[in-house]
Amino acid sequence: MNGLLRQPVLWFALGAMLVAGTFLVVVDEEGATPRSAASPATDLGADLREFATGLDDDDPYRPPEPAERNRLLSVLRALEAGESTGAADELGYTVRTGVDRETGRRFGLAYNGPDERAWGWYLVDLSEPVRLVIEVPHPNSDLHTEPIGLALYRAVPGSILLVAGTHRRAADEEGDVAHQTNSMFHAVASDLAGRGLPQVQLHGFHDDNLPDTDVVISPGAGDAGEVVRGIADRIDEDFRVCKSWRDDCGKLEGTTNEQGRDAARQRTPFVHVEISRSVRNDRAAWSSLVRAIASADLDEE
């Protein structure tokens, strides 16, 4: 008799658990930030590699209109805050959340393409408040800067990674977001600079352009403050570094970089990092570079 009484109770409890589980799945699908226990781990490296290798210099591209730029800024702010990102659809953006397989940290990702709206790939660490902006303006052109950017993102919790959505030579080089102010990439970088967040922008140079140098560090159009100098000092321990405020680094100082100019106007730290081809081709070397940057004090200034 007791067994017969317990059986309906058991089925009721199981039914309640199934209903609760269904509710949690709905919440995860509808909301901007899923519960990590319900989210499959994502290989962000594979996702970024697929995105970047699909960029060609003959791809179509048009700069976004001001209203479109503002809408994406709203989408990214909502994604960061765990709120609805419904406005992404009209921009052609896919927005999703998940868990990074390598770090176990929650992330939010917004990206679009492939079409003329080649406006970028934006990855937000949702595990803690954003404190560092990492920028890759020349994917599939400055080779291997994308995995270096992702490695730095993973090394610094609370990062946001900005990857341009177009090849730098697309549309007669209008796709070179480092030298355009009308791009979505620039709009996002400028918005984050306005919040006082330091930026690290990654580039690559051929070894012949500056022999006997592994890395060039520059504040772009601004002054070399504590963040810039701190990163340079860390890198200097293991690499041959050209420091633009002290050395002649030729055309690799990033003084015409538009994100650097904007950061200087907003008085926020901007670190222009040029990496030699030899270092970029050596995973162990660039991994050491990433660790050096990540170990610097990025909250000063």
Q: Which of 38, 11, 30 is nearest to 84 (CA)?
A: 30
Q: Which of 106, 204, 111, 103 is nearest to 151 (CA)?
A: 103
Rounded CA-CA distance 188/79 in Å is 13
Q: Which of 24, 10, 286, 271 is nearest to 147 (CA)?
A: 286
Rounded CA-CA distance 74/69 in Å is 9
pTM of the model: 0.86
Whole-number pLDDT of residue 103: 97
Rounded CA-CA distance 135/189 in Å is 8
Half-sphere exposure of 105 (CA within 13 A, CB side): 20
Rounded CA-CA distance 201/162 in Å is 9
Q: Which residue has the tokens 């170990």?
A: 295
Counting residues of the chain whose pLDDT is more than 90, the rounded percentage is 81
Sheet holding 41-42, edge to edge: 41-42, 93-100, 106-112, 121-125, 159-163, 132-136, 199-205, 270-276, 215-218, 241-243
Q: Do 277 and 252 form a contact (C-beta atoms < 8 A)?
A: no
pLDDT at residue 152 is higher than 60: yes
For the stretch 158-188, what's the b/e string if a residue is b when 16 or more beta carbons lie within 10 angstroms of its beta carbon?
bbbbbbbbbbbbbbeebbbbbebeebbbbbb
- The one-character DSSP state at 178 is G
Q: Do 166 and 111 form a contact (C-beta atoms < 8 A)?
A: no
* Dihedral angle over CA of 191, 128, 26, 42, nearest 10: 90
DSSP-derived secondary structure for 121-154: EEEEE-SS---EEEEESSTTTSTTHHHHHHHHHH
Longest dimension (CA), the chain: 90
Rounded CA-CA distance 297/151 in Å is 17
Whole-number pLDDT of residue 113: 74
In tens, the pLDDT along 232-274 reads: 999 999 999 999 999 999 999 999 999 999 999 999 999 999 9
Rounded CA-CA distance 291/273 in Å is 14
Of the chain, the end-to-end C-alpha distance in Å amounts to 74
pLDDT at residue 218 is higher than 60: yes
Neighbours of 25 (CB within 10 A): 13
> In the chain, where are the structural domains located?
1-30, 40-295
Three-state DSSP class for 140?
Answer: coil
- Please give the CATH number for the structural domain made up of 40-295: 3.40.630
- Give the mean model confidence (pLDDT) for residues 165-192: 95
Counting residues of the chain whose pLDDT is more than 70, the rounded percentage is 86
**Across all residues in the chain, what is the average pLDDT?**
88
In tens, the pLDDT along 126-144 reads: 999 999 999 999 999 999 9
In the numeric block, which tokens belong to residue 189?
Answer: 């970088």
pLDDT at residue 301 is higher than 60: no
- Give the mean model confidence (pLDDT) for residues 183-196: 98
In tens, the pLDDT along 263-287 reads: 999 999 999 999 999 999 999 999 9
Whole-number pLDDT of residue 1: 43
In tens, the pLDDT along 31-87 reads: 444 333 445 799 999 999 999 999 999 999 999 999 999 999 999 999 999 898 887
